[in-house]
Chains A and B, each alone.
Chain A
Amino acid sequence: MRWADLFERAEAYDVGTDDIRAFLRERRERE
């Protein structure tokens, strides 16, 4: 239930894999 609850809450956000990859790439470049 814990993961199911997290997934349900995450549905409020419209996020794609490209958004995640772009964030992580920029974060790496900042470091």
Chain B
Amino acid sequence: MSEGHEPEPTRIVADADVLAADLLVGGPARDTMDVVRSHSWLELVATEPLLEATRDAIESLADRALADEWRAAIDDLAVVVEQPPDDRPALAAAYRGDASQIVTFDERLRSAEAGAALRGLFEVSVRSPEAFLAVVDPAALYELAFEGSYPGPDRGPR
């Protein structure tokens, strides 16, 4: 399964819980997405089921108009990749979209056991938003990906 999978340091998956919390809660989820939104070279990778789960959560917990406008905004930001029917959306997005990071509140996905199982398939780091913010440095990612000095954020996050 790992054949042909080359994780890109600039490709990041935000799970549905993080995407919904970005909009409805704020805090570390929004700070994480602000990092993505403020760097045009960081790519948010998603699948259609992941985005639809998020949209449904927003519609249920807030309202349909907000959910629809969120969907239009995220469609401009995200790279959408195919997801096989029975795959878990965040994992499918990471594997199919060559992402190196998954950001999620789901402890099961972040557990040591899940991490070991994933490493057998492909290299991906699974972190909470808090851990992502503590560990992931856009400057280091930029230098790893482009072998140049980090120019700083290149667009407004909001």
Which residues does A use to contact B, with CB under 8 Å? 1-4, 6-7, 9-10, 12-13, 15-17, 19-21, 23-24, 27
Contact = CB atoms under 8 A, between A and B. Distances in A.
A18 B105 CA distance: 10
11 contacts: A2-B158, A3-B73, A7-B26, A9-B66, A15-B24, A17-B27, A20-B24, A20-B61, A21-B17, A24-B53, A27-B53
Interface of B: 16-17, 20-21, 23-27, 29-30, 37, 53, 56-57, 60-62, 66, 69-70, 73, 105-106, 157-158
Contacts of A6: 23, 66, 69-70, 73
A17 B105 contact: yes
Contacts, number: 60
A24 B56 CA distance: 9
A9 B70 CA distance: 11
Nearest to B69: A6
B60 A23 contact: yes
